[in-house]
Amino acid sequence: MLSVAHISKTFGSVKALDDVSFDVHDGEIMGLIGQNGAGKSTTFHSILNFLQFDGQITFNGQPLSADDYNLIGYLPEERSLMPKLTIAQQITYLARLKNQPASVTKPKIAPWMAKFAVKGQPNDKINKLSKGNQQKVQLICTLIHDPQLIILDEPFSGLDPVNADLLKQAILDAKQRGATIIFSSHDMSNVEEICDSLVMLRDGQVVLNGTVDDVREQFGRTRLFLTTDWSLDELAALTGVQKVNPLGAHRYQLLLNDADAGPAIFAAVTQGEYIQEFSQQPPTLDEIFRTEAGGEHVE
């Protein structure tokens, strides 16, 4: 388990982190989210010991040691491959920095390339690869030494949905073997899909912390999706309805002032008859992010 306890970091007059605390358990994927400048990179760099900070960070109950850093896999947001090296040279070199000998790494390279559908051969140079294939090679570098703690900063950058799914499966495989994973993305659908928990930072402070479901539920089930022959005006006139958004033929999203209005709306619209769709949900992570990250509130 990774435990971040009351860490703070100041750069000149700017407080990048202000008493940030969270835990990430073995076999858990935690999403670290927030706007640019919220403190995500500073948090990563603190965990990786790239900078000094106030507070304490422990892994499995102990301060991170030199040996522990060999058990970390880090994928930075910016691509950090050496373009003149071959794929095999790049992967082998970075694995050696994590104390994995070349004799162990080399037999793994071709299977990992096949797993990620990398278009190229181990002896192809990095600069001959597309941006998407470079991203896949960088993720291989992050995972090939079977790290126990994995930090992924925008891992799906530049990937189409098919290739993103290949990488998601690799992340889920790492979770299955018990790795502790922190995942950062501005795409809230990715966070909602693969993360067990999340921490949202705003101006260096934690503003949301909990499981994905618990975070969504704390904003109330104020989104109601239904398919009905009722008109938009008829739905808008129902008690408790703040706004009606048409979604397609006879399909609507109702924004509610109060989640408790749901049962009365259900009774009014169905009148005891079958209805094809009636689903009352909390806001999506994307809706929560757009408001909470900027210090506003979800309607």
On whether residue 293 sits in a domain, the answer given is no
Let me know whether 98 and 160 are in one domain.
yes
pLDDT at 257: 94
Three-class DSSP category at 125: strand
Predicted local confidence at residue 79, as pLDDT: 76
What percent of the chain lies above the pLDDT cut of 70?
Answer: 98
Judgement on whether residues 134 and 270 belong to the same structural domain of the protein: no
- The CATH number assigned to the domain holding 59 equals 3.40.50.300
The mean per-residue pLDDT over the stretch 10-19 comes to 95
Query: Mind listing the pLDDT tens digit for each residue in 139-150?
Result: 999 999 999 999
pLDDT reported for residue 133: 92
Reported in sequence order, the residue ranges of the chain that DSSP labels E, i.e. its strands, are 2-11, 14-24, 29-33, 54-59, 62-63, 72-75, 149-153, 180-184, 197-202, 205-211, 223-227, 241-248, 251-256, 277-281
Q: How much of the chain exceeds pLDDT 90, in percent?
A: 89
Of 200, 217, 234, which one is at a domain's C-terminal end?
Answer: 217
From the list 7, 15, 18, 152, the residue with the least C-alpha distance to 72 is 152
Q: Which residues constitute the domain of residue 249?
A: 223-281
* Mean pLDDT value of segment 54-80: 92
Q: Are residues 213 and 265 in the same domain?
A: no
Shared domain check, 202 and 229: no
Q: Are residues 113 and 19 part of one domain?
A: yes
* Confidence band of 293 (pLDDT split at 50, 70, 90): confident
* 287 in any annotated domain: no
User: Which pTM was predicted?
Assistant: 0.89
* pLDDT value of residue 85: 96
- 294 lies in a domain? no
Q: Is 288 within the bounds of a domain?
A: no
- Distance of alpha carbon 108 from alpha carbon 91, whole angstroms: 10
Residues 6 or more apart in contact with residue 158 via CB below 8 angstroms: 131, 132, 135
pLDDT band (50, 70, 90) for residue 294: low
Q: Structural domain tally of the chain?
A: 2
237 and 268 part of one domain: yes
Quick: pLDDT tens for 251-261: 999 999 999 99
Does 10 share its domain with 106? yes
DSSP 8-state secondary structure symbol assigned to residue 284: P
In a domain, 53, yes or no: yes
Residue 246 pLDDT exceeds 80: yes
Q: Is residue 42 domain-resident?
A: yes
- Establish if 68 belongs to a structural domain: yes
Which of 155 and 158 is assigned the larger pLDDT? 155
Q: Is there a single domain that holds both residue 247 and residue 208?
A: no
* 31-49 average pLDDT score: 95
Confidence category of residue 73, pLDDT binned at 50, 70, 90: very high
Position 56 in a domain:
yes
CA–CA gap between residue 281 and residue 223 (Å, rounded): 5
For residues 12 and 143, state if they share a domain: yes
Can you tell me the mean pLDDT for 255-284?
95
Pair 156, 251 in one domain: no
Kindly state the tokens that stand for 245. Answer: 């958004």
Mean pLDDT of the chain: 93
Residue at a domain's end among 176, 201, 217: 217
pLDDT classification of 200: cutoffs 50, 70, 90: very high
Query: Do 118 and 167 sit in the same domain of this protein?
Result: yes
Considering the domain architecture, whether residues 34 and 135 belong to the same structural domain is answered as yes
